[in-house]
Each structure stands twice: as structure tokens, then as C-alpha cells.
Structure 1
């Protein structure tokens, strides 16, 4: 889905290190970065606690099947527990069968009764108060 990516090195640098909007954990194998998990905190009024939201989990294709994705998820689950988060959530495209199977194997369950809504850049501009 690289054709849909708008992020640049500069926007990532600003968002991750300038604003602190998200955090990233790098997975290494023998000193080489081979995966990452990008996450941030949200809040649930249902459970009355913060939640850990996983935005991206990625392991390079050549290194998949070695348990690195599971280690990254375990790291985040431990972090969520330490931060007293009520839950950990993420989205997964419904056609991504390998990822769905992987997440289910980790104990995650899909929430089929929720619908995702999004305002993209133009919709945000249209909805916001006039400047």
C-alpha cells in the first residue's frame, strides 16, 4: 500500500520527536532493525482508563515467522499493563488474512460490530470553523 503513504521523513520526525504524538519501538535482530511497532495512547470512557493504540506493526518479509511480531506485541502488552491501560487496540484490513490469523493466535478478537469513520484532510478543512 506504499502508493497511499503521504508520510515523509520530515513529517515523521516532527510528529514522533517534535510533537511526541506517537512512539515507536524498533525490533532488532543481531543489531539490524528488522521491524517496528508505532503506537500512542488514547482514552476509553467505557473502561475509564487510557488505552494503547497500535498504529503500525511491521516486520520485514525476510524476517517473518521468527517470532519478532509476537515479541513486539508482547512488549506493548507489557507496557500497557505497566501504564494501567484498560485495553490495547488496532485496525487490520479485512482482506489481510495472514495478519488476522496472527492476531487471533495472539488472543486478539475482531470487533465486527463497530464501524470506522474518518475525516481526511479536505473533510477536516470543510468541517472546521472558518479561519
Structure 2
């Protein structure tokens, strides 16, 4: 699979199985396979449906998917402009070192500039030194003053207890 040229394209309806396969590989790499509950139908709805909330790019060699970037728009109150949040970037191990990750990030940066976005952001697992070094080689900076928080239980946002103190309306 290392023989052909790399093609980066926007994912489209019909790519759900390829994307889900890459998500599964990423989850294995990140030691989080037990957390994957995505299905082709959910990807179709949320990436390509009438109310799509995310987008994806696919990297292909000879028509076979070898990597992807899944992203969505966020917003910076300080900049007063939207931004691009990269949820996942993954390249199959056998295809790493060919510039595919860099090509995916370049396409994302181009899209962000075309759309007038103020920045790109993403998270990296603290133990993933190869990814950290790769991002730093591109000039990305770790936001060491920030900690990511999450509210999620079994793939759903849990109900929170009411605030203590005076009653809220």
C-alpha cells in the first residue's frame, strides 16, 4: 500500500465504513477501544445528514483509506470568531512517515483560513510522545495552562443536580 500517491479528499456519504474502521484503529492505538460506540449510521447522520455537526477528510493511497481527520467548528469568545477543532487525526502505522499527517493538517489549516477561522485546536494524550513531537515540529504549542474537562456517562451527558443555595428559575 506504500506505492501510490496520497490523495486527500473530503469524506462523503458512503465513506462511513472506512471512517469507522480508522476510528477503531485509532481507539486501539490510544488504548480506548472499549469506548467506541460509533456506528456507520451515527457517522452518516452526524457527518453527512441534514444537521451534520462535523466533517472529515480522508487520506487515500490507490483508493484505499489510510488516514483521516475529523473536525468541527467551535467558537472563540476572545477572538470573536469561529475556529476549527480537530477531534481526531490518524494515519495507519504502515503509512506513517510519508507526510500524510502533515498533508491532512495542511488541508485543515487551508480550510480554516478559507473560512476565516481564528485558530485550530486539538487535544493530545499526554503519553503520546510521537504525536506531541510531530505537532511541535509544525509549530503547534501546548496549552499547558488549560485542563480538559468532560461530562459524559455511557455516551450521554448526565443530568446534573440542581445548584445549591437560593432557588434558580
The alignment's TM-score, normalised by the length of structure 2, stands at: 0.72
Q: Which runs of 4+ in 1 moved over 6 A?
A: none
Residue in 1 that maps onto 2:157? 124
Structure 2 gaps, min length 5: 1-31, 163-169
Residue in 2 that maps onto 1:93? 125
| Per-residue deviation, 1:128 | 8.3
The superposition leaves residues 27-83 of structure 1 with CA deviations (integer Å, 9 ceiling, x where unpaired) of 112222111110000100111110000001011111000000000000000111111
Q: Compared with structure 1, are the counterparts of its residues 32 and 124 closer, same or farther at alpha carbon in structure 2 (3 Å cutoff)?
A: closer
Alignment counterpart, residue 142 of structure 2, candidates 105, 110, 117: 110
Residue in 1 that maps onto 2:71? 39
* Residue 79 (1) aligns with residue 111 (2): yes
Q: Choose between structure 1 and 2 for higher RCO, CA contacts under 8 A separated by at least 6 residues.
A: 2
Q: Compared with structure 1, are the counterparts of its residues 124 and 33 closer, same or farther at alpha carbon in structure 2 (3 Å cutoff)?
A: closer
Q: Rg larger in 1 or in 2?
A: 2
| Per-residue deviation, 1:4 | 1.9
The alignment's TM-score, normalised by the length of structure 1, stands at: 0.91
Residue in 2 that maps onto 1:22? 54
Structure 1 gaps, min length 5: none
- Alpha-carbon distance in structure 1 between the residues aligned to 2:139 and 2:85: 16
| Per-residue deviation, 1:23 | 0.2
The superposition leaves residues 105-130 of structure 1 with CA deviations (integer Å, 9 ceiling, x where unpaired) of 1110100100111110467332289x
- Alpha-carbon distance in structure 2 between the residues aligned to 1:106 and 1:31: 27
- Alpha-carbon distance in structure 1 between the residues aligned to 2:34 and 2:47: 22
| RMSD of aligned residue pairs (Cα, Å) | 1.7
